[in-house]
Structure 1
Amino acid sequence: MALKSAIRDLRNKPDLLFLRLPNLVSLVCIVVGVVWLLLLPLNEYSRRTYISENALLPGQVHAYFTGSEQNIFRGYKREIEGLLNEGAEPPARREDTTLNPTYVEQQDSRMAYMVDVANMSTEYPKKLRSILQVAGLKVATQKYEYTSAGITHQGENVYGIIHAPRGDATEAIVLVAAWRTADDELNLNGVTLALTLARYFRRWSLWSKDIIFLFTPDSKSGTQAWVDAYHDLHPASVQPLPLKSGALQGAVVIEYPFEHRFHSLHIVYDGVNGQLPNLDLFNTAVAIASGQMGIGANLQEMWDHNDSYEARLQTILRGMAKQGLGYATGAHSSFMPYHIDAITLQPKGQGWEDEMALGRTIESLCRSLNNLLEHLHQSFFFYLLMESQRFVSIGTYLPSAMLIAGNFTIMAIALWMRTGYHLRSAPSEPRTPQKEQNPAPVTEKTEQTARISGPPVVERLLALPLTLVTGLHLLGLVPLWTLNTLSHQFFTSVTYTFVVVDVVLPLVLAALLSNGLGLFSPIVPQQYLLIKSFSLLLLGLCLSTLATLNFSLSFIIGLLCAPLSFIGRLQGLSAPLRYGLAVFGLVLLNLLSPPTILLGACWYFGVSVETVLTQAAFGWDVWGMWTQVVVWCVWWPAWLIGCVLLGSSVF
């Protein structure tokens, strides 16, 4: 009865039902969503990692990569260093070099040489091919070329295949060593270690899967060209592969760009568009490194993780930032779109572990992948890691993004209902003496009819709101096309141009809608509410769907768009107060526009706008990254509509 009474009170007070309650519920959804995320680092909301696939048996075999193999490593290293010394320029100090140099650090003299990779582009593949052929592998090469933002990326991949003595060439494992790491450092020890492992693995007869050793010029384009060609999905500028094996079951990338011994292994696992490898692969690497080899494992560049709440939360936020941006964090990221689980192993710190320890770790990891009877599938593909041995599954963290996305849907439904009723009743007719003398009889039926009918229903004018919302979302294709097509030297000026456009365009549209300017009659208040309703409904729909694919991107954009739920056309205020609030709100909204957020982030991290947008264009052209689509076709139109509604208060 109490619930019925509360519902009856809300029905009799439409102002409370349509105006105050939706705002309160939306605010509660946003606050609860943020608090939900902040609770995840607690033990009650997270779990310890575990191996779901029993066939992996991590750390259960003895690794034999040691002893005489170190002499082979040193011999291969001298051969590759000979190529570098032939194409090296005079010594140069590291701080005096230009952008993106490649270095070779000599262990004995600690001299840094800037290497012209272009001059040795033909000698380097020849040397690798000859070493792999002598080791007994089947070897092939592949040339590729990509053009993005006016920059041409080209090179030649070299790869060799060890056919499994106990297999039928239906499955394969990939070991990748790029000439340059993801940080654009010379991966001399990584390439040398991969060559040594190729010769070492060739002598074993225990493999049930083929093993492919892939050597690429860089970590960005080379691996992507090879993986695309392996699945026959490469563009015309990429050569097809003359030699293939079976279905790829996993990939491990080796990055060892320095000469000194290391302390721990940094495991990089983030993929393109927020995709993640199967958690079993990450857990296997951690179990082998920490348990079998006694090497510490780090993630998300957290070198001094003390397992406190702050450290856990910082690790989660760093992982969410990389996942939300959706860019490739290494050569392993190119395998993710093809459902191939991959990670990158990076030695870090100063310690007593050497290349033999890293080689034994990779050997044991390959032995575990070799035990698989089917593709990794039993563990999680959606998770947040807070340390190497603790994670949060999707069922626990997904409600936080869904609550933030749901607040837009709640406001959209409330606005839709509000536009169908007159919230304020028409002024009552003056009473006449005749009416007072002969009042109409009030019966139970008329009283019930009046109670059920509630506020009078009005017709909704949908044409203009639907056209405006659709047109502004299609307008997002303009910056999307511009920033993925222009040459990189124009990116900075174009960004500042969009900042100016974001200031002027909402005011122009607001004036056009308020005054008509002779093109159409000025719109009525109901249509402003419909514009906001359609915009928030579309925003909530997109973010809710996106949360299941890229939780971090949905959560970040949802927070940035949260003010849009509470901003609209100001009414019922005096002119000076209305103008002041509208101008203040427009200034705050412009600080949350996509171009302004980009400029602020670049300033905070000390990165140029040109570098960020060049990387984004490369991700669009080569990696298939669709973060820009969400930014310019979902976030920017919703933000623009919010500015238009607020700007209409001035006119």
Structure 2
Amino acid sequence: MAESETPKTRPRPLVRLGIFLISHSLLVSVVCCTAGVLALLLLPVLAKNTYISENALMPGSANAMLSSEDISEAHRFMNDLTGLNLKTGETGIESSRLIARYMSDLGADVNYHKFHPQPNQFRPLHFFSNSDSRIIQENICCSSHGVNTVGIIRAPRGDGKEAIVLVTPYNSHKIDLAEALSLAIAYSVFSLLTRVTWLAKDIIWLAADSKYGEYASVSAWLRDYQTPVFGDFEKPYSEICCESNARHGLKESEITERKISDVFRRAGTMAAALVIKVSDGNKQADGTLSIYAEASNGQMPNLDLINIVNNLAVHRQGLQVKVEKLLSLLDSKWLRILGEVFESVGNIARSLNPQWKFGIPAADYMEGAATLASSLYYQALGVPTGSHGAFRDYQVDAITLEISPKVALNNKIRQTEFLQRGGRLIEGVIRSVNNLLEKFHQSFFLYLLTSPSKFVSVGVYMIAFALLVAPLPIVAASLYSDANKWDSSLKKHDPTSSPKSADDEHRNILRSWKWLYAAKQVFIIHSWGVLVSLLPYLICQMPNWMSKVLTWLILGSPIIDADASQSQKREWAILKSVTISAAFIGLCLMSVINFATAEIGALLLVPMCLLAHPLRLDVRAHSLKAFTRAGCNLVLGFIGFPPAAFFVLKGSFEGFESVNISDFWNWIESLWAWNSATYLYIGMVHLPCWALCIWILLHPC
């Protein structure tokens, strides 16, 4: 009997799905990329109303206790501050002494914190490690230090393990009226909190000397707060300068009398921080509260902190709350047309079923899109939008509140009302945070704002990114599979091919070497990108070797061998496959560090990688499809180049008349100075992938 043929086993459903996707990679790419862009445009429509997740916060549940006496004392404090500018030329010293004296009169523990401005240095792994330890350079002059004034109220109901921080930046050399008002608001609240009995968390008031920058002063204080020293190393604040305290106006008798010390004082773990600023009413709409929340590498505070501020400002103090938006998008015609389309679709959906809540008015869509674009932009920059960003480096939730009065700042009749409104807002926020038994954790840390009262959560906006990058591994597998099939067909029709077993072995070895050759090219290009990223760091470390480093980088830049064999020249598909795989890995890794950067990078990088095709092949094809693809590749290759992408985006949002050649370098320098992970993404992911795509376009097929 003839042996029965063994039935062929069908592959598993998951394998069959993979084979189907790979065989239809073009269709999958078009569908996924279109759906990804559409999902991104739909985010303002899908935004949800904010809500308080932590019930213990209870914003507005208690009546404000800030009295007219607190306001009058704050007004007197403000007048004394502004009067210093007329009395003495040493305003920096006198202002610190005045603030410390007022803090001490309230019974707070007060100390001075001396700090030196630290030069910006690029640290490639800064976002993987803690902040630098406190190192004071010996060659810094004593006269170049700043002095923060810190007051601490010990909570009567607390155990000293938690604290809330108030920050008021001011220029100690010349205090303007806006800075005096912000200090007065903090003083009125600080004065109230020294008398209340419900306080369960210590209150720290940091009057930050911002003559070297708001961020520098707050960051220096936080660095010393979070890295305590013991023994003889506790002396830097009192003995760091060769000059005596008396020369700076800090007389020993007065320090003893007022219990003001140079010894660093601490409270408990920080539960939250509020940076209070007052802006000129002429710069913004009257009676508004602007919230700034973005920190380094796209970090955001817990959404509940923004929610309680928005709730109290709108419903208790009658302020109009604003977040940053790209104003140029509000005049965009295509965005208005898109908003009208979504509004029409929503009207049709509600006519079919009233319970279908889809679509928003076109005006609301434009506002939401402009705010969403601003949120993406500032998160992608990786640069803090205020001194609150220093707190997020230590996982402390913090925001900046910038209040704009309804009237001019010099209108003394309305100043009392303004101080009362701002003070009661801060009081309400502190009272809500004081109710927490633990740190913020209930609400979202990953979100995008479309308005002060609407947000898009991570579970929604990740869909757009996932759809954009989904075609990359599928196309990479399809290209590799097609290259192997093409090689197999050549071997099959080759009359000089060896027997089947030897031919198969030779073919498998050849395929593996071709893959390794493409991987080697990709590795060289990405190594070059690493060197380009580290170039500023190397120049700072070895300034005398700058010319040698530049020469070495130019000579060591990846140059493709022009004498490559004909078989290697035909392997552009495998090179593209490995390039796409590298882009996919880089974008996914970046999405973990800073999602906004990965999202914007995917919009630029994914189409460029998917469409990359040798121009010589398109020219030889003499077809409309080939010429269209070649034109798209040239456009994407130009836009994908980092400087060109920067100029195009800046010109689209702000107008091309405002574009300057030096803007790109200034932007890169700011990313470098702030240790932004976006800087590493541009140098180590985007730039190498762009170079590989350009090489594929110019491949000598």
By the TM > 0.5 criterion, same fold? yes
Within a 5 Å distance, the mapping from 1:374-393 to structure 2 comes to 374-393=438-457
| 1:110 paired residue number | none
Worse overlay, 258-267 or 391-400: 258-267
Aligned to 2:218: 223
Q: How does 1:202-213 map to 2 (within 5 A)?
A: 202-213=194-205
Match of 2:120 in 1: 148
CA change 1:397–1:158 in 2 (3 A) is: same
Q: 2:100 aligns with which of 113, 116, 129?
A: 129
Q: 3-state DSSP class of the match of 2:681?
A: helix
Q: Which runs of 5+ in 2 are unaligned?
A: 1-9, 123-139, 238-262, 331-360, 408-413
1:569 paired with 2:614, answer yes
- Cα distance in 2 for partners of 1:195, 1:597 equals 47
Query: Counterpart of 1:637 in structure 2: which amino acid?
Result: P
Query: What letter corresponds to residue 595 of structure 1 in structure 2?
Result: P
Residues 149 and 486 in structure 1, CA contact (< 8 A), matched pair in contact too: no
Matched, 1:530 2:574: yes
1:188-337 equivalent positions in 2, closer than 5 A: 188-216=180-208, 217=210, 218-232=213-227, 242-258=264-280, 262-301=286-325, 308-337=364-393
Name the structure where helix makes up a greater proportion of residues. Answer: 2
- For the structure 1 residues 607 and 300, does the alpha-carbon distance in structure 2 shift closer, same or farther, using more than 3 Å as the test? same
Q: Which residue of 1 aligns with 2:589?
A: 545
2:429 maps to 365
- Give the Å deviation of 1:381: 0.9
Residue 355 of structure 1, aligned match among 401, 419, 435 = 419
Question: By how many angstroms is 1:23 displaced?
Answer: 2.8
Instruction: Determine if contact 1:513/1:522 at 8 Å carries over to the other structure.
Output: no
* 1:163-202 pair list within 5 angstroms: 163-179=154-170, 187-202=179-194
Flag the 1:429–1:616 CA change in 2: closer, same or farther, 3 A.
closer
- Name the counterpart of 1:101: none
Equivalent of 1:418, from 449, 463, 482? 482
Question: Which shifted more, 393-402 or 406-415?
Answer: 406-415
Q: Quick one: structure 1 residues 583 and 559, their matched pair in 2 at CA, closer, same or farther if it must change by over 3 Å? A: closer
Does the C-alpha gap of structure 1 residues 573 and 279 become closer, same or farther in structure 2, counting only changes over 3 Å? closer
- Which residue does 1:67 correspond to in 2? 68
Counterpart CA distance in 1 for 2:494 and 2:206 is 90
For residues 84-103 of structure 1, the aligned pairs below 5 Å read: 84-85=85-86
1:491-506 correspondence runs (5 A):
none
Deviations 1:545-604 (A, max 9, x none): 333442221110001112221103345455697999879845651332112223445566
The alpha-carbon deviation at position 635 of structure 1 amounts to: 0.8
Helix, strand or coil at the partner of 2:445: coil
Give the Cα–Cα distance (whole angstroms) in 2 for the partners of residues 543 and 239 of structure 1. 44
Amino acid at match of 1:344: T
2:34 counterpart residue number: 31
Amino acid at match of 2:44: P
Distance in 1 (CA, whole Å) between partners of 2:100 and 2:494 is 99
Shift, 1:251, TM fit? 0.6
Q: 1:584 to 1:173 in 2, by over 3 A?
A: closer
Change in 2 beyond 3 A, CA 1:624/1:123? farther
State the distance in 2 between where 1:252 and 1:601 align: 33
Partner Cα separation in structure 2 for residue 583 and residue 128 of structure 1: 65
Structure 2 equivalent of residue 556 of structure 1: 600
Match for residue 460 of structure 1 among 485, 498, 512: 512
Q: Percent identity?
A: 26
The equivalent position to 2:695 in structure 1, one of 624, 644, 647, is 644
Q: Is the 8 A contact 1:419 1:526 kept in 2?
A: no
Matched residue, 1:91: none
Structure 2 counterpart SS, 1:146: coil
User: Are the structure 2 counterparts of residues 307 and 359 from structure 1 closer, same or farther at C-alpha, using a change threshold of 3 Å?
Assistant: farther
Q: Secondary structure of the residue that 1:539 maps to in structure 2?
A: helix
Amino acid in structure 1 at the alignment position of 2:278: Y
Q: Which amino acid in structure 1 is aligned with residue 53 of structure 2?
A: S
Per-residue displacement from partner, 1:405-456 (whole Å, max 9, x unpaired)?
222222222223233332673498799xxxxxxxxxxxxxxxxx9xxx9xx8
TM-score of the aligned structures, taking structure 2 as reference length: 0.71
Moved more, 592-601 or 325-334: 592-601
- In structure 1, stretches of 5+ residues that fail to align are 89-118, 432-448
Does the C-alpha gap of structure 1 residues 619 and 204 become closer, same or farther in structure 2, counting only changes over 3 Å?
farther
Q: Is the 8 A contact 1:586 1:647 kept in 2?
A: no
C-alpha distance in 1 between matches for 2:222 and 2:370:
33
Name whichever of 637-646 and 352-361 sits farther off: 352-361
Letter in 2 for 1:270: E
State the superposition RMSD in angstroms.
4.3
Question: For each residue in 1:186-239, what CA deviation from the matched residue of structure 2 results, as whole angstroms up to 9, or x when unmatched?
Answer: 6332123223322332222321100001122132211122222222199x9x96
Partner Cα separation in structure 2 for residue 86 and residue 473 of structure 1: 61
- Cα deviation per residue 1:92-125 (whole Å; 9 max; x = unaligned)? xxxxxxxxxxxxxxxxxxxxxxxxxxx6444433
Kindly provide the amino acid, as one letter, of the partner of residue 550 in structure 1: N
Deviation at 1:292, TM superposition (A): 2.0
Aligned length: 568
SS in 1 for 2:74: helix
Per-residue CA deviation, residues 512-533 of structure 1 (Å, 9 max, x unaligned), is: 33434xxxx5661454223222
Tell me how far 1:536 sits from its aligned partner. Answer: 1.4
Superposed displacement of residue 287, structure 1: 1.1
| 1:1-57 Cα deviation digits (max 9, x unpaired) | xxx99x9xx99xx9x987x83233222221111101112222xx3322111111111
Q: CA shift at 1:337, angstroms?
A: 2.5
Aligned mate of 1:597, from 628, 645, 650: 645
- State the distance in 1 between where 2:326 and 2:573 align: 47
Q: Per the alignment, do residues 200 and 611 of structure 1 end up closer, same or farther by CA in structure 2, a change over 3 Å counting? A: farther
Q: 1:78 to 1:348 in 2, by over 3 A?
A: closer
Q: Hey, what's the Cα distance between the residues in 2 that align with 1:574 and 1:541?
A: 32
Pick closer, same or farther for the CA change 1:293–1:375 going to 2, 3 Å: same
Write the letter of the residue equivalent to 1:28.
Answer: V
TM-score (norm 1): 0.76
Matched, 1:469 2:472: no
Provide the C-alpha distance between the structure 1 equivalents of 2:365 and 2:49, rounded to a whole number of angstroms: 15
Pair 1:145–1:411, CA change in 2 (3 A): same
Aligned to 2:245: none
Query: Per the alignment, do residues 180 and 539 of structure 1 end up closer, same or farther by CA in structure 2, a change over 3 Å counting?
Result: farther
Larger displacement relative to structure 2 (418-427 or 316-325): 418-427
Aligned equivalent of 1:41:
44
Provide the rounded CA distance (Å) in 2 between the counterparts of 1:463 and 1:302.
Answer: 46
Secondary structure of the structure 1 residue equivalent to 2:119: strand
Match of 1:628? 679
* Cα distance change of structure 1 residues 515 and 203 upon mapping to structure 2, 3 Å threshold: same
Q: 1:526 to 1:188 in 2, by over 3 A?
A: farther
Equivalent residues of 1:264, 1:348 under 8 A apart: yes
- Provide the C-alpha distance between the structure 2 equivalents of 1:199 and 1:248, rounded to a whole number of angstroms: 20
Residue identity matched to 2:288: S
Aligned to 1:394: 458
